[in-house]
Structure 1
Amino acid sequence: MAPTHRSFARDFTRRRLLTIGAASAGAVLAGSTAASASGKSWPAVIPLPDGFRPEGIAIGGGPYAYLGSLGDGSIYRADLRTGQGGIISTGPGTPSVGVKLDDRGRLFVAGRGFGARVVDVRSGEIIASYVLTTATPSFANDVFLTPRAVWFTDSYQPALYALPLGRHGGLPDADEVVTITLKGDWSQVPGEVVNANGITRTPDGSALLVVQSGVGALHRVDPRTGVTTLVDLGDAAPLTNGDGLLLLGRTLYVVQNRQNAIDVFTLAPDGTSGVLRRRITDPAFDVPTTVAAYKDRLYLPNARFTTTPTPTTTYDVIAVAR
């Protein structure tokens, strides 16, 4: 039987779904590695195949980045030590947007208007697919993993979708998708406008954080009710074109794609407020969308949204110091 909203809320209360677990610990542990193993001699630019059109990036406990193609949905694996890589999963012909990797070698992929899928990065096989909603228009944009659920944002609908995970990370059946409607401070901009985009959790694991791109706002979301409250970011400028989010400890990295920048905040433990610490920019940025960490570096794919994509358009991943 598909889980109801109420039973899912009870499970959240009992199990503390947002508390960090093995699925998301790799990036944090890797990020705290001693400087002697920082990989500073590794390449700062990692080339991707011509015409690849990257958007999402995921890095696990090892020195490999996984990227999805907005074109045909293929998955590319890059070795952070050498900058070399290759396609490990040929796409189904539909986009791959946000991606996240768990500690079982499963890559969870947001598929824009085509729901979500799960790719085994060892075999390249698509091991599960999900219709997240029948509402139109729909745009499954980004993904976040917790020990008990996989969360997806929808940029065109005021909703989050959760795939509840079973024992030992078991994948749910196709009819077990849970929809959480966003309310409270959330004000949806109608039409095909990017609303909900990047997603992560609060430092204490009590709620989700979602950036609303079009209005530049960061929301704290109660995953039991969908009620959102605006995060007080003080005098920081709006997070215009806010895209990927990365939380390491109490430090939140917010990618602002067309600004070619990452704003760095220190958050309150419950995520209700934050203080802007600095802005990271780099001349090599060309509309970076999302961010992942390994050791003392951040890795961002250049989506190049201001460049008309062609089969010969070049793309890459840029590494910058945290």
Structure 2
Amino acid sequence: MRKPRPRHLLSTALAVTLALSAFGSTTPVSQAHGGRVVDRYVVPGDKAYPEGIVREPGTPYFYVGGTSDGTIWRGRVDQQSLQVFLPGGRDGRTTAVGMKITKGRLVVAGGATGKVFVYSTRAAALLHVFDSGSRTGLVNDVAIAPNGDAYVTDSLQPVLYRISAAQLDDTTVNQPLRVAVNFSGTPVEYEDGINGNGLVVTPDGRYVLMADTNSQAFYRISTSTGAVTPVDLGGVTDIGADGLLLRDGELYSITSLFHPEGEISVLELTDDYSRARVKRRINGRGMDVPSTATFDGCDDLLVVNFQYQIENPHLPFTVVRVTL
């Protein structure tokens, strides 16, 4: 999610969340749902501006969050239309940005609320509200580590938050959202606009990989020490990542910053995650100012078309299937 930009820049710049737990079912959609494949899903409402998306493993469901009022919709991969799962405004959730699922819990970044909301995917019941206490930041994306910890970016405040697995397992509803890493004095420099954005945790749990949309950079952050190292992209400066996914040593970056028609950059990472090279880029294919994506099986991404700050968005708002 991003702060408003001048209208004349919208044709060239817009962006704004994901982790290993969001890969979704590894069974191909065509096998899991009787051969029915839906390529385009409809998000209801002409003011939806959907930003975050996550696939729930072992089920046919995926979830999409809206930035205009915090509505969360649930869709089935074999049906075209999404339905309201959590109405906007409930529990003080006035916006919903990045989201992940862990142990049947939907973890939702609450944007300018400064909060992270956690719900049961089975009962749609509120489990937790983690509050940073800040109302000047933008809690943007969530990633789940192998040990169950959740990491959360703030795009306006130079910090990385962490919610421990123990906090998520605790029955206490209201808890603090604590800073894990303060970026002051590190290579990460926050400027006006969207900074720390999409993030993933490496399979060994040693690092968080974070996208910085403003600087078109990626950073490797140690989960044990907080040490920050820029990822060497070999001179590439035109990625401008929003949502991120990581699988089999490849980083998938979703953006509309330089390509309103949407771009997915597939980057091959070194074993220590310190360097990356762009293997290929995917453009178009139904994307329309996208923000992020989630895996659906081995070969497909479900990409959410955000269209944020577009005065007259192309309706209806959609999620599209992009085959890799």
Aligned with residue 87 of structure 1, among 79, 84, 88:
84
How many residues align structurally?
292
User: Counterpart amino acid of 1:83?
Assistant: Q
1:164-179 correspondence runs (5 A): 164-166=164-166, 169-170=169-170, 174-179=174-179
Alpha-carbon offset, residue 64 of structure 1: 1.4
Contact 1:97 1:142 in 2 (8 A): yes
Number of the residue aligned with 2:245: 246
Check 1:171–1:215 CA distance in 2 against 1; reply closer, same or farther (3 A cut). Answer: farther
Q: Structure 1: any 5+ residue segments left out of the alignment?
A: 1-22
Measured against aligned partners, the alpha-carbon deviations of 1:92-138 in whole angstroms (never above 9, x if no partner) come to 2510011111132x11111112111112222222222121243x520
Residue 320 of structure 1 aligns to a residue whose secondary structure is: strand
* Superposition CA RMSD, Å: 2.5
Aligned with residue 307 of structure 2, among 298, 304, 309:
304
1:182-261 correspondence runs (5 A): 182=183, 183-189=185-191, 191=192, 193-240=193-240, 242-258=241-257, 259=259, 260-261=262-263
Alpha-carbon offset, residue 25 of structure 1: 4.6
Check 1:223–1:168 CA distance in 2 against 1; reply closer, same or farther (3 A cut). Answer: closer
Number of the residue aligned with 2:64: 67
User: Counterpart amino acid of 1:216?
Assistant: Q
Check 1:171–1:165 CA distance in 2 against 1; reply closer, same or farther (3 A cut). Answer: farther
Check 1:218–1:77 CA distance in 2 against 1; reply closer, same or farther (3 A cut). Answer: same
TM-score normalized with structure 2 length: 0.82
Cα separation, 2, equivalents of 1:238 and 1:171 = 44
Alpha-carbon offset, residue 177 of structure 1: 3.0
TM-score normalized with structure 1 length: 0.83
Q: Structure 2: any 5+ residue segments left out of the alignment?
A: 1-18
Number of the residue aligned with 1:137: 136
Measured against aligned partners, the alpha-carbon deviations of 1:118-163 in whole angstroms (never above 9, x if no partner) come to 12222222222121243x5200000011233111100001101111
Answer yes or no: is 1:46 the counterpart of 2:46: no
- Structure 1 outlier segments of 4+, above 6 Å: none
Residue 318 of structure 2 aligns to a residue whose secondary structure is: strand
Cα separation, 2, equivalents of 1:226 and 1:167 = 20
Residue 275 of structure 1 aligns to a residue whose secondary structure is: strand
Identity of aligned residues (%): 27
Cα separation, 1, equivalents of 2:159 and 2:102 = 23
